[in-house]
Amino acid sequence: MLDCGLDMTSTLNFLPLPLVQNPRLSNLPGWSLKDGNAFLDKELKECSGHVFVDSVPEFCLPETELIDLSTVDVILISNYHCMMALPYITEHTGFTGTVYATEPTVQIGRLLMEELVNFIERVPKAQSASLWKNKDTQRLLPSPLKDAVEVSTWRRCYTMQEVNSALSKIQLVGYSQKIELFGAVQVTPLSSGYALGSSNWIIQSHYEKVSYVSGSSLLTTHPQFSVVFQPMDQASLKNSDVLILTGLTQIPTANPDGMVGEFCSNLALTVRNGGNVLVPCYPSGVIYDLLECLYQYIDSAGLSSIPFYFISPVANSSLEFSQIFAEWLCHNKQTKVYLPEPPFPHAELIQTNKLKHYPSIHGDFSNDFRQPCVVFTGHPSLRFGDVVHFMELWGKSSLNTVIFTEPDFSYLEALAPYQPLAMKCIYCPIDTRLNFIQVSKLLKEVQPLHVVCPEQYTQPPPAQSHRVDLMIDCQPPAMSYRRAEVLALPFRRRYEKIEIMPELADSLVPMEIKPGISLATVSAVLHTKDNKHVLQVPPRGGWGPPPRPAQPTGGKKRKRPSDDIPDCKVLKPLLSGSIPVEQFVQTLEKHGFSDIKVEDTAKGHIVLLQEAETLIQIEEDSTHIICDNDEVLRVRLRDLVLKFLQKF
Amino acid sequence: MDPECSRLLPALCAVLVDPRQPVADDTCLEKLLDWFKTVTEAGPSLLLLQENPCLVELLFRVLKAHDPRPRVLSFSLRLAGLFAAQEDCFQYLQGDSSLFVASAAGQLLVHILALAMRGPAEGHPSPQGCDWPACAQKIVCHVEDSLRSTATPQVTQALNVLTTTFGHCHSPWTQGLWVRLSPLVACLLEKDPIPASHSLVDLLLSVARSPVGSSDCGLWETLAQTLSHLSPTQAGPLALGILKLQDCPQALKTQAFGVLLQPLACVLKAAAQAPGPPGFPEGATGDSITVDTFLSSKSACVGLLCQALAHLELLQLLPQRPSPWPQAPLLRAAVAILRFCHGSAAPTSDVGGHLCAVLAGCVRVQRAALDFLGTLSQGTGPQELVTQVFAVLLEYLTSPDSSPMVLKKAFQATLRWLLGSPKAPSCCDLDPHTQLFLGELLPVLRKRLCSPCWEARDSGLEFLTQVTRHWGGQAAFRHALLASEVPELTGQLLRDPESYVRASAVTATGQLSSWGLYATPTGPEHPEVQQESLFTELLHILSTDSEGFPRRAVMHVFTQWLKDGHADVAEDLEQFVARVLQAASQDLDWEVRAQGLELALVFLEQLLGQPGSRCPYAVALPEAAPPATLAQVLQALCRVQLFEFALRALFDCDRPVAQKSCDLLLFLKAKATPCGGPQEAGASPDVVSVEAALQRWQAGEQGQPLGELEPEAVMAVLRSMDLEGLRGMLAKSSDHMEKSPQSLLQDMLATVGVLGENEADCY
């Protein structure tokens, strides 16, 4: 299984979970059907012209119907955003396999899960809505609830216990480490340049190679994005039979550089006017790019006195982690780990008291809180986490601004339950993953035989149907797939590698049949275990039948492994070469045959010995001697034929 | 030739003819030729050759050599040409791989041909050439053979020789030459691909510009034919060349203009949602060849578009540009291209879709199109189109994806369109459309001034400076600007970490302040508070900024303020000048010191009542007051310590500063002398001490101050100094010693180690 992501857009259908008692959200009118039927009014509430589910938010799980997940042996994780559904799979499907991921992926993934669990558990909600999920009922609901897919599979958030159990099933791996999977294939994680510990995977056998490229970034030489991680390893992706490509940028028209510029400018303008800036974000990832950029920017923009707050239950751990994973950073940052200067500049922001971090709005934060300020906090869906509080607090003033930088959620949908809103909303999605120009360069460089990708990447975005530059353009055209589609990858396993034991190899006598090509016959026992094949020296007895093991004296006759070895017959030599017809006829004549006639056939020749009423049919790969019950004559002729062939 | 050079020359000639010796680079040989040229111009060359037999020997041996080195050969030929061009024709050298040699050989052939055709053949020789001198016949036959060759380099050489011929020789025989060669040239057009198309275009344009062009109608046909045979990219330069010709048939001009318009016509067609308003004149309707070029590859499409835009931009500025000029369709095309590049066009045709994919985000085309759009601001257009222009410019100014260079171009184009926009008829204020646009523009500018990209901040400030310079007096602009946060942000950028931005911020605040626009919202009531603080802030930058650009910018602003009679300056003129000069005198940057002298000169002129250096909106100059007496002027100069500043600058290690100071003091001396100022201060102790200090300064000990100066002492010192002599010495370039021919010869010999005395230098 490649990655294990969680679709969190389902939470947009739910009401936000406020951290403090919120009269507005707790007194919303219930929703009733057009005919006045109000049986759903406990579950569905009307808010700002939209209908929301009033319940603990639920998440949309990976497809579980198509295959039995208990039969999955291995899950490969490419980055910390792509493992959020792991507890659902490892704890509730009978999964007994192994999960492979790099160490930073696991550690930061744990933080993301921990934050999620914390956000939801700290504001317990008694109510769990399920009536609305009934298919007949759902049809009657307004959009987008009506169109939500697979609502019956939506689940509440997992617990910390489940998270811990899931993470314990992960096997840590390092870049370029080769991991044997049951002898059948070897998998290797490669740096993908997107996030701390993010990887692409190579899955290869001796004769086939599949690359899984997910969430990669080439922005390594980019000043804004600071050459944070090890650059994407492209060279190792070469010679792939199939390249599975996913996790491209979600916003192909917005270049990250320009967006960071927008972010900074809008931030400065708001703060300058005495307003506050709210940045809904995850506790790791883009936030580091933003902090690094702000670090360079705040002095030039005259913002040195403005406090920056980072509020997350895992803020402290996140800030610390990013400073210690030296081996996962790019060379430039690696060297800084061993210097007094920290690799990421946010450490300096913290030291100089410009950046302060808190686990939540309660406690120390309320004492230190000073306005105008900039707050980084989750969750980007605006449905839970401390961000809900700030939306309620600052939403009424047009001096304040909320800047959306995470591309995962539609900002309009995220804002829907907060309308009408006076605060300014700026959408600066920052997605450093590959865009289509970079994909095109990558494919030219790597030259896979086939590209497999989601259907969406093979056509222009629906809203910009003329932008044919915003799709994958490669030869042969990419094979696309859609949800729940079963796709046969375009290669067949035709060869297996077989090893020969040294003793056996020693005994071989190769014969050169063409310059550079030698042949040898091998008689051996093929030993196959864990998808590995080895030719071993056959048991004693050489070419003859193997000796029967001594019968056990008394007792029952037991079948033993060696009994399975088939009897080796005395082998006739193998023949090679071709028979030159003219010389063969001359030889026949020399040996007293006369009245010889040669006929050409489609496949070779027929030599007729008319007198002897015998026919020799010579074809490329067979020779038949057809004579009427004259075994002596046949053997004579056979020996003449054999003279022209090589034996070994 | 001086004896020392004569002594060195034989050794150098020996080096040049010796194939084992490395020869100095081409630049040295070029310099040597320049020197010989001045020597031959100065005296009889024959004498020179007699006195320096090594020169004849050099020519003789190089020309006789079996395998001469190309650059020495080229040098020798040109040297021989200098001495005696009329003697003989040299062997053909055109195939040489060295560009220098090939070009020299080509030019030589042309000169020989021209020389041979002078005299007996002058007039109208027959095209067949039977009455041409043998030498000329040989050359023409060679050119003919080359034109028939299948090897492109040979064709190129022949075309280049002919281009030079028609470019330089305007005698009637060239007409015969063209009659004889034009069929061969026409044959080149039949080939596919056309060989040496660049050179062919050059030749045809050279012929068209020569007298042959005005008399031969066959030429126009050839040009027309060539235009239609060449690919759109190759035809562009020819079309532009044709349109630049003074007199050529209108039909040909129309055809040529059509070629330039083709790519834009194609874009218009591809961008059209429905049949739109009339487009380009007939002949420019987006033919299939242009479309094919567009579709062939990204680089071909981008190249063709950029070329067309650049050509049309050049053409628009020419007086002989086609008339009527299709301003409206050109505007539409430029807007369409910019929309394609921005991804905001929504074409329905296949070509449109392709253009969209190719041009999206293409910085090269964006730059070319913005430049072109800027040039189009010289003309007018229907209001609906102008609105589109401003809309697309705003799109570029707003877009986070605009690269810094594109943003700069967008600001420049916007400025040109803004300044070109009509004034409202009723008053001299801005028209309503412009006011509306300003309302949208200023928030964008504000955001750009906050950009983390320093280039964006810099371009924004430059734009602000320019637009304020022109519109600082327009009520609508003033109102909109003061209502925006832009002036405050500009002040903020005086402390930008990037020195270029600080420099631009200095210029911008200086300009805003000149118009009374640099003020906080409370500013207008108490302008003096803000003004004072700006002067202090700029003075602080001048004294402390670690980079030169902001300090230079401050000096320019101060000079401008002084010229304009800026209110804050006028308030205490002497104090202002004294503080600025004091800061400038200690600056390590010579440009700052030189600008200080410029400011001193403006001050001096104003004191002396010199007209013509003042701005029309000067506020409080001493204009109303009668010109001060010289004594008063000198006293004022002493009070602001201008003399100390100027005298110190006189011994500045940077020559431009010393020169400027010298000019200033000479100007003052000239002003003072006829007025009969105090003359009798000859031996006063003041002068002695001043002169002693000056001598120490000249010796490099600049630490000591001059102390209080009396005007009399200053004048006495000025009279006693040989300022004219000093100016003469400073006028000589500082490397006049190093530039001498003797030094050149020594250098060349030193590189090959002939001068033994330099050997030890290696260690």
Mean pLDDT of A480-500: 89
* Residue B89 scores a pLDDT above 50: no
| Stretch among A212-226, A523-537, B155-169, B487-501 having the lowest mean pLDDT | A212-226
The enclosing domain of A603 has a CATH number of 3.30.310
Mean pLDDT of A565-579: 68
Distance CA B252, CA B225 (A): 10
Are residues A243 and A260 both part of a single domain?
Answer: no
* Contact between B401 and A254 (Cβ < 8 Å): yes
- Please give the backbone phi and psi of residue A375, each rounded to the nearest 5 degrees, phi first: -115, 125
* Contact between B363 and B342 (Cβ < 8 Å): no
Report for A22-31, B72-81, B128-137: range of highest mean pLDDT: A22-31
Q: How far is CA A1 from CA A5, A83, A98, B677, in A?
A: 11, 11, 10, 100
Band (pLDDT 50/70/90 cuts) for residue B526 is very low
Contact A254 B400 (CB under 8 A): yes
Contacts 24+ apart (CB under 8 A), B77-82: B77/B104, B77/B105, B77/B108, B78/B33, B78/B104, B79/B33, B79/B36, B79/B55, B81/B108, B81/B111, B82/B33, B82/B36, B82/B37, B82/B40, B82/B45
Distance CA A62, CA A7 (A): 8
Are residues A280 and A183 both part of a single domain?
Answer: no
Contact B453 A467 (CB under 8 A): no
Does residue A261 belong to any structural domain of this protein? yes
Are residues A378 and A291 both part of a single domain?
Answer: yes
Q: Environment class of residue A442 by beta-carbon count within 10 Å: exposed (0-12), middle (13-18) or buried (19+)?
A: buried
pLDDT in tens, B375-403: 999 888 888 899 999 999 999 999 998 99
Are residues A361 and A457 both part of a single domain?
Answer: no
Percent of chain A scoring above 70 in pLDDT: 90
Residue closest to B704 by CA, chosen among B617, B644, B663: B644
Average pLDDT over chain A reads 87
- B498 Cβ under 8 Å from any chain A Cβ: yes
Are residues A360 and A420 both part of a single domain?
Answer: yes
* Residue A388 scores a pLDDT above 50: yes
- Please give the backbone phi and psi of residue A470, each rounded to the nearest 5 degrees, phi first: -100, 50
Does residue A321 belong to any structural domain of this protein? yes
* Residue A515 scores a pLDDT above 90: no
Band (pLDDT 50/70/90 cuts) for residue A109 is very high
Q: What is the pLDDT of residue A164?
A: 97
Distance CA A326, CA A39 (A): 57
Range of the domain at B636: 577-612+627-672+687-721
Contact A269 B453 (CB under 8 A): no
Rg (CA), chain A: 36
Band (pLDDT 50/70/90 cuts) for residue B14 is confident
Does residue B752 belong to any structural domain of this protein? no
Are residues A380 and A455 both part of a single domain?
Answer: no
Average pLDDT over chain B reads 82
A-chain residues within 8 Å CB-CB of B497? 299-300
Distance CA B71, CA B97 (A): 11
Distance CA A633, CA B688 (A): 142
Band (pLDDT 50/70/90 cuts) for residue A30 is very high
Mean pLDDT of A344-354: 83
Count how many domains chain B has.
Answer: 1
* Residue B88 scores a pLDDT above 50: no
Are residues A401 and A473 both part of a single domain?
Answer: no
Q: What is the pLDDT of residue A387?
A: 97
Distance CA B191, CA B184 (A): 12
Strand A44-47 to strand A604-609: parallel, antiparallel, or no bridges (unpaired)? unpaired
* Contact between B232 and B317 (Cβ < 8 Å): no
Q: Who contacts A643 (Cβ-Cβ below 8 Å, separation ≥6)?
A: A587
Bridge partners (DSSP) of residue A498 are A533
Count how many domains chain A has.
Answer: 3
Residue closest to A236 by CA, chosen among A195, A196, A193, A172: A193
Does residue B642 belong to any structural domain of this protein? yes
Nearest CA in chain A to B502: A300
Q: What is the pLDDT of residue B627?
A: 58
- B398 Cβ under 8 Å from any chain A Cβ: no
Mean pLDDT of A492-513: 89
Q: What is the pLDDT of residue B624?
A: 42
> CB-CB: which of B452, B485, B492 is closest to A261?
B452
Mean pLDDT of B7-28: 82
Band (pLDDT 50/70/90 cuts) for residue B521 is very low
Distance CA B276, CA B278 (A): 7
- B354 Cβ under 8 Å from any chain A Cβ: yes
Are residues A423 and A466 both part of a single domain?
Answer: no
What's CA B580's distance to the chain center, in Å?
32
A-chain residues within 8 Å CB-CB of B402? 258
* Residue A569 scores a pLDDT above 80: no
Does residue A116 belong to any structural domain of this protein? no
* Residue B692 scores a pLDDT above 80: no
Distance CA A274, CA A370 (A): 11
Does residue B581 belong to any structural domain of this protein? yes
Interface test with B, best of A225, A300, A459 (most B CBs within 10 A): A300
Residues, chain B:
763
Are residues A469 and A612 both part of a single domain?
Answer: no
Does residue B667 belong to any structural domain of this protein? yes
The full 3-state SS of B159-201, as one line of letters, equals HHHHHHHHHHCCCCHHHHHHHHHHHHHHHHHHCCCCCCHHHHH
Q: What is the pLDDT of residue A645?
A: 87
Distance CA A232, CA A254 (A): 21
A-chain residues within 8 Å CB-CB of B487? none
Quick one: which H or E segment has residue A377?
A: strand A374-377
* Residue B345 scores a pLDDT above 90: no
Interface test with B, best of A305, A466, A470, A472 (most B CBs within 10 A): A466
B-chain residues within 8 Å CB-CB of A300? 452, 454, 496-498
- B379 Cβ under 8 Å from any chain A Cβ: no
pLDDT in tens, B183-217: 999 999 888 888 899 999 999 999 999 888 777 66
- Residue with the bigger pLDDT between B596 and A340: it is B596
Rg (CA), chain B: 34
Q: What is the pLDDT of residue A103?
A: 92
Range of the domain at A219: 174-248+450-489
Mean pLDDT of A332-351: 71
Interface test with A, best of B403, B405, B451, B500 (most A CBs within 10 A): B451
- B349 Cβ under 8 Å from any chain A Cβ: no
User: Would you call the peptide bond into B193 cis, given omega within 30 degrees of 0 as the criterion?
Assistant: yes
* Residue B761 scores a pLDDT above 50: no
Look up tokens 């934050």; give the residue.
A115
Distance CA B73, CA B65 (A): 9
Q: Environment class of residue A600 by beta-carbon count within 10 Å: exposed (0-12), middle (13-18) or buried (19+)?
A: exposed
Percent of chain B scoring above 70 in pLDDT: 84
A-chain residues within 8 Å CB-CB of B498? 300
Mean pLDDT of A4-19: 94
Mean pLDDT of A281-307: 86
Q: What is the pLDDT of residue B672?
A: 76
Interface test with A, best of B273, B397, B453 (most A CBs within 10 A): B453
Q: Who contacts A149 (Cβ-Cβ below 8 Å, separation ≥6)?
A: A60
Does residue A561 belong to any structural domain of this protein? no
Distance CA B430, CA B438 (A): 10
Does residue B316 belong to any structural domain of this protein? no
Contact B447 A269 (CB under 8 A): yes
| Stretch among A37-51, A67-81, A484-498, B413-427 having the lowest mean pLDDT | B413-427
Q: What is the pLDDT of residue A435?
A: 93
- Residue with the bigger pLDDT between A219 and B90: it is A219
pTM: 0.77
The enclosing domain of A274 has a CATH number of 3.40.50.10890
Are residues A403 and A465 both part of a single domain?
Answer: no
Q: What is the pLDDT of residue B612?
A: 46
* Residue B520 scores a pLDDT above 50: no
Residue closest to A118 by CA, chosen among A283, A233, A291, A323: A283
Are residues A350 and A418 both part of a single domain?
Answer: yes
* Residue B463 scores a pLDDT above 90: yes
Are residues A206 and A265 both part of a single domain?
Answer: no
B-chain residues within 8 Å CB-CB of A272? 450, 485, 489
* Residue A177 scores a pLDDT above 70: yes
Does residue A463 belong to any structural domain of this protein? yes
Mean pLDDT of B574-596: 93
